[in-house]
């Protein structure tokens, strides 16, 4: 199924949660917190302004974003859990360091 969110809405697929702590302790799935990072799958046409115009969104498809743990509405599309957020619910766009990618 393909759909396009309206106005300033963004559809995000949560990234997998960490299952091991920094100290190496395995965290059971039921105890793990919801992931707060995700990949943008679809964006609306823009935020509606007071003058009736649309402002382009700051995020685009493919961006990795950080959002609040309980932000947005969870939906399932073709059995896949997704989150629909307003652009204002997104806290940051995560940019990977190019040098770090080359080192890996």
pLDDT digits (tens, 9 = 90+) for 9-19: 999 998 876 65
Q: Which domains, and CATH codes, for the chain?
A: 9-16+33-103 (2.30.33.40)
**What predicted TM-score, i.e. pTM, was given to this entire model?**
0.72
Residue 87, CA distances (Å) to 1, 22, 80, 92, 96 in order: 22, 31, 21, 10, 21
pLDDT in tens, 19-50: 565 666 665 555 555 668 899 999 988 888 88
């Amino acid at each position: 199924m393909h759909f396009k969110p309206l106005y300033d809405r963004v559809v995000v697929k949560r990234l997998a949660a960490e299952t091991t702590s920094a100290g190496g302790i395995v965290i059971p799935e039921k105890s793990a917190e919801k992931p707060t990072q995700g990949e943008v799958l679809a964006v609306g046409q823009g935020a509606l302004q007071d003058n009736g115009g649309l402002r382009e969104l700051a995020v685009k498809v493919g961006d990795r974003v950080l959002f609040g743990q309980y932000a947005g509405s969870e939906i399932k599309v073709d059995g896949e859990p997704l989150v629909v957020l307003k652009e204002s619910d997104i806290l940051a766009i995560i940019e990977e360091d190019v040098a770090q990618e080359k080192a890996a």
